[in-house]
Chain A
Amino acid sequence: MTRGTLIYIGQRLLLITLTALIVSSVVFIGVHQLPGNAFLTERRTNAAAQAALLHHYGLDLPWPVQYVNWLTGVLHGDLGESLVNRGVRITPLVLREAATSATLGFWAMVFTVTLGMSLGIVAAVKQNTLLDYVASFCAVIGYSMPSFVTATFLVLLTVTGFYAWTGGTIYENIGWGKPEQIPVPAISLGLLPSAIIFRLTRASMLEVIRQDYVRTAWAKGLRSRIVVIRHALRNALIPVVTILGPITTSVITGSIVIEYIFGIPGLGKEFINSIANRDYNIVIGVFTFYAILVGLANLLVDLVYPMIDPRIRY
């Protein structure tokens, strides 16, 4: 890791912090500018209790003051207190949920990248064979399959299917917490992006196989395995890596729906619940964390980039 790389990482971290701050401020101000008191009006409390609640959350102050108070908290790493469940601090809650979401996202990415890339390579090397046609056809379908549809099919297959076929000895337990509960949501989340990666890898591999330097590698008398893996693949991966950033973002986006379907206690489920409960303090907190999560994931992808392409230096 060179000095330049460290400076680059520092700059990016600063940018992520800044983005998170801007985004959460916009959301904060947006939420607080809504006509009427969007917070606690629906609670069945008497006027005195209502006033006490408002005072507890500092909601009786003018919004610029609220904003300054909130920002001070954020800068100290404190995202405030849940409006619905009094006494629950948001920072530890969201941190725990972010870890869950990151685990799901990580496995979904592992699945996406492994499946998409390996099939893409094989389809390109065996171009115009049955395998290529089948894989390309599946990718065309997978490309247009929303995550909740994939989830439906997988649940039908694992929960209903396995249960019926094995007479109840094998069944999938929907939920979260055990390792065997990871694959179904992770695959649901990763199938569509893997179709995108497949198409890109295949096209890029076909392009690279025709390059002069691959011919050079053959002319040197290298084994075909080495030509494909060392010479063709590494170059073919360059455009694939560029797209991993947006793919990561779309996987994180998809995780909102997947967590909701499978009841996974992550950021996405929390976001949906908090929006439904109008617990805006949590909404802002989750939003901030999403901004950070996406920023970090994209930074990670950008750090992989120069490892594959030596022409890129930070």
Chain B
Amino acid sequence: MVNKGETLGIVGESGCGKSVTALSVLRLIPEPGRIVSGHIWFKDRDVASYSREELREYRGNDVSMIFQDPMTSLNPVLRVGFQIKEAMVAHERFDNKTADERVVPMLQKVRISDPKERAKNYPHQFSGGMRQRAMIAMGLSNEPDLLIADEPTTALDVTVQAQIIELLRDLNRDMGTAVVLITHNLAVVASLCTRVIVMYAGRIVESGPTRQIFNSPQHPYTWSLLQSIPRIDSTQHDKLLTIAGLPPDLSNPPPGCLFHPRCRFRVDRCSKEEPPLEEVGPEQAARCWVLMKNALAGAEPVR
């Protein structure tokens, strides 16, 4: 789904399966979780079929990941520079010396000032934003094909958030690493990603180019999400719409479309059959029987 050098955003409410999706890409799902069905294809090979050693080589080398909470994601007892170097040495892509020499430029690249001294620091001497930069440096140190950023800005201050997003955009442009950004923040997606996937209850409900999704969302869930953020250019004084209710309990999912209990545009069919993910426009797909273009036109569903 992710092309070389692309930036893809995965959006959805908390607990809808974004992080689990990301972790499964690296096969890092904590026990007792497991991948029951589906495949993860990387360069025409299924990651699920990797041997232990192949998996180890793939992690951090082909695909690397940065996590939600930079405060707890770095090892408190090891120097930051060492933790970055370690990622490089593990894959024998760089020998010990080259890896050592690459640490400082990597820190420089993620805009940490005084990188030479900072490399010798321990994580507790770093601020939250700096730790996340260090995590990014670690993730990019092996020049992976894909960087998965799981809510990289959630735990940070708003100003720092903007800096981190900007950094990710620049690195994507300069290094050509594809980025998958997982977030519940639509503004972040709009500013960084070329393509968006919207997830609900562990399923993709809509996907397409960012601009198109923002301008004409087809799934009611996407539409509601966009209605729930305030817009400064809004001409009418509309109320912000909220989505009533909570995501379903996935151990006991509702029949039919998983969103229908909360959907304001539902029709009878929605509670009986689950809709497939279907093409609804150029490069855009949605999983809905109704589709917003029909719902807003007041028309009956096409099928």
Interface set of A (CB-CB < 8 Å, partner B): 210-213, 215-223, 226, 230-231, 234-235, 238, 308-311
**B13 within 8 A of partner (CB):** no
Chain B: CB-nearest residue to A216: B73
**A20 vs B26: C-alpha distance in the bound complex, in angstroms?**
58
* Given known A-B contacts A213-B72, A219-B65, A223-B90, A235 and B26 have beta carbons under 8 A apart: no
Chain B: CB-nearest residue to A234: B77
* Complex contacts, B57 vs chain A, CB 8 Å: 221
Least CB distance, A240 to chain B, in whole angstroms: 13
Least CB distance, B23 to chain A, in whole angstroms: 8
* Given known A-B contacts A223-B90, A311-B122, A218 and B59 have beta carbons under 8 A apart: yes
**A216 vs B150: C-alpha distance in the bound complex, in angstroms?**
12
Question: What are 11 of the A-B contact pairs (CB < 8 Å)?
Answer: A212-B72, A213-B72, A215-B67, A217-B75, A219-B28, A219-B60, A220-B87, A220-B90, A222-B90, A234-B75, A311-B76
* Complex contacts, A223 vs chain B, CB 8 Å: 56, 90
Chain B: CB-nearest residue to A309: B77
**A219 vs B136: C-alpha distance in the bound complex, in angstroms?**
13
Chain B: CB-nearest residue to A214: B75
Question: Lowest 8 A-B CB distances belong to which pairs?
Answer: A221-B60, A221-B59, A220-B60, A212-B72, A213-B75, A220-B87, A310-B122, A212-B73
* Given known A-B contacts A219-B59, A223-B56, A311-B122, A212 and B76 have beta carbons under 8 A apart: no
Quick one: which of B27-60 are within 8 Å of A by CB? 28, 30, 56-60
**A267 vs B124: C-alpha distance in the bound complex, in angstroms?**
44
* Complex contacts, B90 vs chain A, CB 8 Å: 220-223, 226
* Complex contacts, B122 vs chain A, CB 8 Å: 310-311
**A75 vs B61: C-alpha distance in the bound complex, in angstroms?**
65
**A174 vs B124: C-alpha distance in the bound complex, in angstroms?**
52
Chain A: CB-nearest residue to B141: A220
* Given known A-B contacts A219-B26, A219-B65, A220-B86, A310 and B76 have beta carbons under 8 A apart: yes
**B138 within 8 A of partner (CB):** yes
Q: Is the CB of A310 within 8 A of B77?
A: yes
Least CB distance, B89 to chain A, in whole angstroms: 9
Least CB distance, B85 to chain A, in whole angstroms: 11
Q: Is the CB of B69 within 8 A of A212?
A: yes
Interface set of B (CB-CB < 8 Å, partner A): 26, 28, 30, 56-61, 64-65, 67, 69, 72-78, 86-87, 90-91, 122, 124, 135, 138
Least CB distance, B155 to chain A, in whole angstroms: 11
**A130 vs B60: C-alpha distance in the bound complex, in angstroms?**
34
Least CB distance, A55 to chain B, in whole angstroms: 63
* Given known A-B contacts A218-B28, A221-B56, A308-B77, A212 and B67 have beta carbons under 8 A apart: yes
* Given known A-B contacts A212-B67, A311-B124, A221 and B78 have beta carbons under 8 A apart: no
**A222 vs B56: C-alpha distance in the bound complex, in angstroms?**
7
Apart from A220-B87, A308-B77, 14 more pairs, CB < 8 Å = A212-B72, A215-B28, A215-B73, A216-B75, A218-B26, A218-B28, A219-B60, A220-B59, A220-B138, A222-B56, A223-B56, A231-B75, A310-B76, A310-B122
**A15 vs B56: C-alpha distance in the bound complex, in angstroms?**
51
**A218 vs B135: C-alpha distance in the bound complex, in angstroms?**
14
Least CB distance, A285 to chain B, in whole angstroms: 42
Q: Is the CB of B74 within 8 A of A213?
A: yes
Least CB distance, B129 to chain A, in whole angstroms: 17
Chain A: CB-nearest residue to B87: A220
Q: Is the CB of A230 within 8 A of B87?
A: no
Least CB distance, A193 to chain B, in whole angstroms: 24
Least CB distance, A280 to chain B, in whole angstroms: 49
**A201 vs B145: C-alpha distance in the bound complex, in angstroms?**
39
**A213 vs B75: C-alpha distance in the bound complex, in angstroms?**
5
* Complex contacts, B135 vs chain A, CB 8 Å: 216
* Complex contacts, A308 vs chain B, CB 8 Å: 77
* Complex contacts, A230 vs chain B, CB 8 Å: 78, 86
* Complex contacts, B56 vs chain A, CB 8 Å: 221-223
Chain B: CB-nearest residue to A310: B122
